[in-house]
Chains A and B, each alone.
Chain A
């Protein structure tokens, strides 16, 4: 299945504040395929929460087109604004689950009642609502806390109740707005695994808003990076990680930037004419190849490892290696060709990147 379940086209969100105009989202287009886990990363204030609220019209955009699961929710193109009818929107919203950083559970209602609240307008009978709510709590592993009030639950448990509530109307989309940002690492991993599991088992499309790259690394299939209301880079998780283009993306991806910071302290002046720093990125089974030895044997190029790191993206390990390669220019060139033929991404670290900004 590869049709788009969410299509945001040329979305603008502008807030009017007295005599100041704030452009929270600027001309953003984002298409998300059914069954995807799409990570949207950026610092707070980048506009990611605003953008994602456009999907269920919690935030009505100023311009653009919002199409979800075949229904046009909003369109304002060429000055003609149409918004989906209110009661229809409510129905459609039930098919778009949403979870939040601060859980936002009804604090005066028990875990079970919170889930039942979501089913208030379903066609189920009272007994069936109760049964379904209990089943949902079971799904998130909290059937024994059904009678507890949110304040009696831990953060991770509250978020799981929120997930059960968000799933109550069998949605096809789940929006997670910084849902793990208030949780400790252990709970974060549990929640992310739960989301991934729901994605695999129910085919749920997940939008993951976060400022934590680790969360995205763990579960996302596609990633978009936002800055100042715009998407500055997007692609598959692998692309974004192995070939980040924008500075901010590199910052988020970490690893290489940390390495570069470390390299700055290196005395580059000490590099000889025949030396050059390169970054090698390789995926999966390439990691086990004895590359440095091959370089020396076959190309007479020495490779001195100065930084290395392995990360797991989804399920594939991705290795990063910063090496100083030493050899005649011609030999170095051949070596690079060899590496690229092997499927290794070779990135020349220019001296400019290493100088202080």
Chain B
């Protein structure tokens, strides 16, 4: 077994489990970046997505100015290619985390890169809630908070899980790019230690690990979306 790996994956073994350039830190960094930027970007995206739906012309808080505010910000950040965003907001990153490079520094562009994408997805998910249900809730004297939490978020929860899955997967893709600012992770492993050193076996294993990540997210997401859906049974 070990001989087999030594023969076909010499570079993979050379990287080692721990230490600089090791597999475990790379895996850890990818998880770290995905988790925290999903959290920050997710909260921001959720707020903007809800804001878009509520202030829309059919929304319960229709407000053209507020809608335009949400809409323009989302469109703006959505329009910037991520690799450029990394560089573009470097000064902001410096202000927030005190450095422009490294895994933690990558969280700022990752969060900002993923939130507009998520906001649009959330917007679509929430718009799938029948206006009639919102109206019925209003007729029952529901407050705005009731309508956001009990109607929009709860009714669309299965859709939300679905779009969260899609967003997480594209976020894993973005973390790979974050390697460009020295953020490490599996993407960095595949490019810096694999591709740049002509170590194809390293690239292959890094890719496989990313695929496993994606698969786990996808399967979990599909399962949750199914369990949480009571619309058609």
Residues of A within 8 A of B (CB): 56, 58, 90-94, 96-98, 100, 102, 104-109, 117-118, 120-121, 149-152, 162, 165-166, 168-169, 175
Contact = CB atoms under 8 A, between A and B. Distances in A.
B150 interface: yes
B132 A93 contact: no
Contact of A151 (B132, B158, B233): B233
- The 8 closest A-B CB pairs, nearest first, are A104-B136, A94-B141, A98-B139, A149-B230, A90-B141, A104-B132, A93-B141, A118-B140
A104 B135 contact: yes
Nearest to B151: A106
Interface in B118-157: 130, 132-133, 135-143, 146, 150-151, 154-155, 157
Interface in B212-233: 228-233
A324 to B, nearest CB: 51
Contacts of A105: 133, 136
A107 B230 CA distance: 7
A165 B230 CA distance: 19
Given A120-B146, A149-B233, A152-B233, A108 B139 contact: no
Contacts, number: 77
Given A120-B146, A149-B230, 20 more contacts: A56-B139, A58-B138, A90-B142, A92-B141, A93-B141, A100-B135, A102-B130, A105-B133, A106-B154, A107-B230, A108-B157, A108-B158, A108-B230, A108-B231, A151-B230, A151-B231, A151-B233, A152-B233, A165-B140, A169-B140
B141 A104 contact: no
A120 B154 CA distance: 16
Nearest to B228: A108
B132 to A, nearest CB: 4
A104 B143 contact: no
A159 to B, nearest CB: 12
A165 B130 CA distance: 18
A179 to B, nearest CB: 12
Interface in B151-193: 151, 154-155, 157-158
Contact of B136 (A92, A98, A108, A168): A98
B130 A94 contact: no
Interface residues of B, number: 25
B139 A102 contact: no
Given A104-B132, A107-B230, A93 B155 contact: no
B58 to A, nearest CB: 13
B157 A90 contact: no
B144 to A, nearest CB: 9
Contacts of A118: 140
Contact of A117 (B140, B157, B230): B140
Contacts of B228: 108
Contacts of A165: 140
A150 B155 CA distance: 12
Nearest to B134: A104
A92 B228 CA distance: 34
B154 A109 contact: yes
A108 B154 contact: yes
A9 to B, nearest CB: 22
Contact of B155 (A56, A108, A175): A108
A162 B143 CA distance: 19
A173 to B, nearest CB: 11
Given A106-B155, A107-B231, A108-B228, A90 B143 contact: yes
A356 B231 CA distance: 51
A71 B230 CA distance: 40
A152 B231 CA distance: 9
A75 B143 CA distance: 23
A151 B154 contact: no
20 contacts: A58-B135, A90-B141, A91-B141, A93-B139, A94-B141, A100-B136, A106-B155, A108-B157, A108-B158, A108-B228, A108-B229, A108-B230, A108-B231, A109-B154, A117-B142, A120-B150, A149-B230, A150-B230, A169-B140, A175-B139
A75 B140 CA distance: 22
A6 to B, nearest CB: 15
Nearest to B157: A108
Contacts of B139: 56, 58, 93, 96-98, 166, 175
A100 B140 CA distance: 13
Contacts of B230: 107-108, 149-151
Nearest to B143: A90
A168 to B, nearest CB: 8
Contacts of A121: 141, 143
Q: Which of A98, A100, A106 has most B Cβ within 10 Å?
A: A106
Contacts of B138: 58, 93
A102 B146 CA distance: 21
A165 B137 CA distance: 10
Nearest to A162: B136
A19 B228 CA distance: 44
Nearest to B150: A117
A251 B137 CA distance: 36
Given A93-B138, A94-B140, A151 B133 contact: no
B193 to A, nearest CB: 47
